[in-house]
Amino acid sequence: MLRAGALLTAGGATLPLTGCDLLDRDEPVPPPDPLEPLAGEARELAARYRAAVAADPGLADRLTPIADAHAAHAEEIQRLIGRPAPSGSPAPGATGATGDRDGLLAGLRAAEQRGRESAAKACAAAPAERAAVLGSIAAARATHVEVLK
């Protein structure tokens, strides 16, 4: 009986260590996908447009469809990546738009031009199965620049 108790005690002492060891294994973290910055940029652009509409509600008809397009682009890029989008608030600088209408539109136009360039670069570097989606996003961003003139 004493031997059984000693074995149980010894076994019980090692069991938790063995169980914890299973959780502490170093699993490799997958490398970041090259499209993650583009997805983040699309989320930031959507937030910038929504902030501009909040600052000047008269721009809602013009800017809301563009904000919706950027949100859809972010979702599609995340689908290509195969991982859910990181949770959290929009990127810094994406909210709190202030200024007059011309200033708001100029800021959006500059952000859209930078976004078009990054989407075009991502498209050129992407494998064929991603290039069509990224080309569409680059084209949409070029169109957005024109809408903002």
State pLDDT tens for residues 20-78: 555 556 778 778 999 999 999 999 999 999 999 999 999 999 999 999 999 999 999 99
Task: Please check the confidence at residue 132 and state whether its pLDDT lies above 80.
Answer: yes
Q: Is residue 59 part of a domain?
A: yes
CATH of the domain at 115: 1.20.1260
Q: Is residue 9 part of a domain?
A: no
Q: Is residue 124 part of a domain?
A: yes
Task: Please check the confidence at residue 107 and state whether its pLDDT lies above 70.
Answer: yes
Q: Which range marks the domain in which residue 114 is found?
A: 36-147
Count of domains observed in the chain: 1
DSSP per-residue letters across the chain: -HHHHHHHHHHHHHHHHHHHHHHT--PPPPPPPTTHHHHHHHHHHHHHHHHHHHH-GGGHHHHHHHHHHHHHHHHHHHHHHTSPPPPSSPPTTSS---S-HHHHHHHHHHHHHHHHHHHHHHHHHS-HHHHHHHHHHHHHHHHHHHHT-
Least confident of 25-29, 72-76, 93-97, 140-144: 93-97
What is the model's pTM? 0.76
Q: Is residue 26 part of a domain?
A: no
Q: Is residue 7 part of a domain?
A: no
Average confidence (pLDDT) over 89-93 = 49
Dist. CA 48–CA 67, nearest whole Å: 8
Q: Is residue 58 part of a domain?
A: yes
Q: Is residue 112 part of a domain?
A: yes
